[in-house]
Amino acid sequence: MNWTQSSRTAWHWHRIDEDRVECTLCPRHCRPRDGQTGFCRVRGAVGGELHTFNYGKSVAASEEVIETEAVYHFAPGARILSLGNIGCMMACDFCQNWETSQVKHLDPSVVNAYTPESIVDLCLASGIDVLSWTYNDPVVWHEFVVTTSRLAQRHGIRTLYKSAFYIEAEPTSELIDCIDIFSLSLKSMDESFYRRITKGRLGPVLHRIEQVHRSGRHVEISQLVIPERNDGEDDAAATARWIVDRLGPDVPLHFVGFHPAYRYTDVERTPVDVLERARTAALGQGIRYCYLGNVHLDSVSDTLCTACGETLVSRFGLSVHVAGVTPEGNCTSCGQPAPIREPHGTAGHEVAPHNGAPARLRFAWQPEIRSVHVATRSADAPRRRVQVVHEPGGEGRWLDIGGGVQRVLLTQRGPDDTGFALVSEQPIELVLYPVLDRAHFATSTCGEDSR
């Protein structure tokens, strides 16, 4: 499809003269002339108006879990429907989703067309009650995000916004009115980092994070720890100190491991010991809840009761077990209120014993691949039930895929989980995409059903 085929009048702009407009969505305030686009390449001047070219344009709708978005204190393990658009208001050379955020690298074949109604219908048909705007960055998708989120909330669906949050105050107010959960990324507390690496500024990001926090919406903060860029203990301490001073010590902070990507590939993945030192530095500044992301080890991302030390929620990678929280939301050991909202919210996938049918596709976890998207080959594949058989042990559970939900996330559940097999007695062609970073939308496969 030609993803630029249609456009519509954007929000947040004004006319400078008959040939030029100014976009006021993000702090860049681009001023394109007729026929030109702004920095993001998805908003531009058309006939004296600012138009958006990506309304309803998204990568495949994917079923994931809420932890994918660095959200640990809201409905642990909840199933979410993730969508991501085209373009970005930043230009980080380490971008984990550069194939879609940087329009010049876009493969149009990965773009699907949706309407607000079709997305809400997908959530309702799939029994998913959290809609997530994620992957590259939803700021430049503002009109579609707000319109769809308002509709979703009217149907009882919560909304989640994962963003680097380079945005102005007025559109932020619109988001506060229709977004329930904000997962916001702070790339560094160094102004020069923002100017050199993102081609943006730090100040506006901090102001908007504070604006959301003042509103009372649920907020969690994450920081990608990038080797030789922002991986020092002083960097971690500065981020934690700002959060404690401006947001409070109970706002969760996530330090997320980096995988080499885009134009920054001459380094290794972030070592676990670097992430652990960052967490120690953050705790030393008074942060009460600090987690490590993109790390598949026991205990590095558990939520503990601050009163008695009991494990409230245990995590391994993206796998979650609510271990010590009562239905009323208190610690099972000492009765202290847990920091988790809706700790026993959305149920997971239905467990089913393996029926002995032959596997269509097998995959063994690898050091670099601990999560995958199971995907249908086409966006219009019919809805099918696929059994996942975890190895060893043969424990099975059902996944529903197709019917508009083109991808479903699978993740390693523990250190003894070596891989899985996919079993389906119904005809369906499946492929696997490696998820190298949570909130990563891969475009290259790592396995497929050859039958």
Contacts of 21 (CB under 8 A, 6+ apart): 13, 14, 15, 31, 32, 45, 48, 49, 50
Contacts of 102 (CB under 8 A, 6+ apart): 88, 91, 95, 262
102 plus 199 within the same structural domain: yes
Domains of the chain: total: 4
Q: What is the predicted pLDDT for the residue at 357?
A: 64
Instruction: Concatenate the DSSP letters of all residues of 122-184 into one string.
Output: HHHHHT--EEEE-SS-GGGGHHHHHHHHHHHHHTT-EEEEEE-----HHHHHHHHHH-SEEEE
The residue to which tokens 């407009």 are assigned: 21
Q: Give the residue from 348, 380, 414 where a domain finishes.
A: 348
Residue 428 predicted with pLDDT over 90: no
Q: What is the predicted pLDDT for the residue at 1?
A: 37
Q: What number is the average pLDDT over the span 199-218?
A: 97
Helix axis angle for 169-178 and 202-215, nearest 10°, is: 30
pLDDT, tens digit (0-9, with 9 covering 90-100), for 122-154: 999 999 999 999 998 999 999 999 999 999 999
152 plus 70 within the same structural domain: yes
Question: Does any domain span residue 355?
Answer: no
Question: Does any domain span residue 1?
Answer: no
In the chain, what percentage of residues exceed pLDDT 90? Answer: 74
258 plus 313 within the same structural domain: no
Q: What is the predicted pLDDT for the residue at 451?
A: 52
In the chain, what percentage of residues exceed pLDDT 70? Answer: 95
Question: Which contacts of 342-346 are long-range, i.e. CB under 8 A and separated by 24 or more positions?
Answer: 342/74, 342/75, 342/78, 343/75, 343/76, 343/312, 343/313, 345/75, 345/76, 345/78, 346/75, 346/77, 346/78, 346/79, 346/128, 346/129, 346/130
226 plus 309 within the same structural domain: no
Number of Cβ within 10 Å of residue 31's Cβ equals 14
pLDDT confidence band for 442 (50 / 70 / 90): confident
314 plus 289 within the same structural domain: no
Range of the domain at 217: 57-295
What sign does the CA torsion over 26, 30, 31, 33 have? negative
Q: What number is the average pLDDT over the span 188-202?
A: 94
333 plus 397 within the same structural domain: no
442 plus 382 within the same structural domain: yes
The residue to which tokens 């063994």 are assigned: 364
Question: Does any domain span residue 167?
Answer: yes
Question: Does any domain span residue 155?
Answer: yes
Cβ–Cβ under 8 Å, residues 244 and 75: no
pTM of this prediction exceeds 0.85:
yes
